[in-house]
Amino acid sequence: MTNPPDSNASREQFGIWLGMLARQWRAEVDRRLSPFILTEARWIILFRLSTADHDLTQKELARVAGVQGPTLVRTLDWLEEKGLIERREVPDDRRAKTVHLTAKAEPALRQIQAVIQGVRAQIFSDVSDEELEQCLAVFKKIGRQFDAFAGSAQDRDMIMVGRGKK
């Protein structure tokens, strides 16, 4: 099947729109959470920990949160200082640490969830379930194309980790 002549323009626009929308979405959540001293790096880490279905090592957390090592360490230091998380040594690998939420993180997590749900409701207010399902099908199809790249299937699995845990 050949693509219509103007489909190249759509393909060029796809990545631009995808990146822009992801940045706008995070920026809006960040803006709404800023009164609670939750920067993007902080709320994303707390959110990812809250939805994980297994204990995440710092390395796994960095990957699913899309954060580089030094930023992750600084953010974890801050979160630990505030009593929101704790790091534990992995019994089989003393160099690795898993990251765990504390009970003190619950109010922040409720705020994060409420803001994310509010942004989501506003963003999707005029998008039908059918349109959203079609969009997700395209994302999944494109994601399968990335499976040929080293680690991308693992990265996608990590992104989806714990869907619906809490």
pLDDT of residue 21: 94
Task: Check: CB of residue 77 under 8 Å from CB of residue 69.
Answer: no
Sheet hosting strand 85-90, strand order edge to edge: 56-57, 93-101, 85-90
Whole-number Cα distances in Å, 41 to 22, 33, 34: 14, 12, 12
pLDDT at 36: 85
Phi, psi torsion values for 90, nearest 5 degrees: -85, 125
Pairing of strands 85-90, 56-57: unpaired
pLDDT per residue, tens digit, the chain (166 aa), is 555 556 788 888 998 999 999 999 999 999 999 888 888 889 999 999 999 989 999 999 998 888 888 889 999 999 999 999 999 998 888 888 999 999 999 999 999 999 999 999 999 999 999 999 999 999 988 888 877 775 555 555 555 544 444 4
Question: What is the structure's pLDDT at 68?
Answer: 86
How far is Cα 57 from Cα 94, in angstroms, rounded to an integer? 12
